[in-house]
């Protein structure tokens, strides 16, 4: 049995590859969350709107995006969508990290569709009388949502949003299929160059597991610190 040597894959150039991939995976998660949270909230409000066209748009967005595999989203945005852009836009995309940009777009759309349902569930958990009272006081629909309903819904919505963050962290690994130099992509580079598959993927597994446990711990802490009580 060959002796394991982790220093062979976590030193010098190999270590730099793995660290840069880990940091890019974290950036993908953070950038996607920053974009998906407001987009998901907007879609949720559309689904709850009294305007039929907005409700239809919100429902179509959620169902259309969620029922297509994330892998298909990534391949579409990287290989198909650039062909529809003007040449200048394609050139700009290629010189500014097309792989990362397309990965963020695909992850954002995919994640926002799930966030929209979490936000919608949180809003619906707030008693309808809260919105009715705000409207009776003269507030418009959007103002009532922003000032009265959403602040109450946030406490209910945060635990499932943390769960979505965990799913997003794991989903960043799929971006390797379009050449995004995240952690899984760099792990494959290191394994190919070093012929140390066990050591490489053990280290990468520990990295994914470590961040996942931190996110899970944050969810557990929030549920104990701010328990959601039945109305």
> What's the CA gap between 116 and 55, in Å, rounded?
12
Count structural domains, the chain.
1
Quick: pLDDT tens for 172-192.
Answer: 999 999 999 999 999 999 999
Quick: pLDDT tens for 56-105.
Answer: 999 999 999 999 999 999 999 999 999 999 999 999 998 999 999 999 99
CB atoms within 10 A of CB 140: 10
Q: Is residue 95 part of a domain?
A: yes
> What's the CA gap between 120 and 205, in Å, rounded?
34
Quick: pLDDT tens for 139-179.
Answer: 877 788 777 887 788 788 888 999 999 999 999 999 999 99
Q: Is residue 120 part of a domain?
A: yes
Residues in the chain: 231
Note down the domain range covering 114.
28-181
Q: Is residue 14 part of a domain?
A: no
The token pair at 2 is: 């060959």
Q: Is residue 191 part of a domain?
A: no
Q: Is residue 208 part of a domain?
A: no
Q: Is residue 203 part of a domain?
A: no
Determine which of 2-11, 76-85, 222-231 has the lowest per-residue pLDDT on average. Answer: 222-231
Check which CATH number belongs to the domain holding 75 and give it.
Answer: 1.10.3720.10
């Amino acid at each position: 049995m060959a002796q394991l040597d982790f220093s062979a894959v976590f030193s010098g150039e190999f270590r730099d590859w793995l660290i840069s991939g880990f940091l890019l995976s974290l950036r993908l998660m953070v950038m996607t969350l920053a974009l998906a949270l407001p987009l998901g909230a907007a879609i949720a409000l559309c689904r709850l709107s009294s305007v039929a066209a907005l409700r239809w748009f919100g429902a179509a967005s959620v169902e259309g995006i969620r029922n297509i595999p994330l892998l298909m989203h990534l391949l579409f945005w990287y290989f198909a969508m650039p062909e529809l852009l003007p040449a200048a836009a394609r050139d700009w995309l290629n010189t500014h990290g097309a792989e990362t940009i397309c990965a963020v777009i695909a992850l954002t759309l995919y994640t926002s569709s799930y966030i929209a349902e979490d936000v919608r569930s949180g809003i619906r958990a707030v008693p309808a009388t809260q919105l009715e009272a705000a409207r009776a006081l003269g507030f418009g629909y959007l103002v009532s949502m922003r000032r009265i309903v959403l602040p109450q819904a946030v406490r209910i919505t945060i635990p499932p949003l943390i769960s979505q963050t965990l799913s997003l962290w794991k989903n960043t690994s799929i971006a390797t299929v379009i050449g995004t130099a995240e952690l899984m992509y760099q792990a494959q580079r290191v394994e190919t160059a070093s012929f140390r598959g066990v050591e490489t993927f053990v280290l990468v597994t520990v990295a994914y597991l470590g961040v996942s446990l931190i996110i899970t711990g944050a969810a557990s802490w929030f549920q104990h610190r701010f328990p959601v009580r039945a109305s």
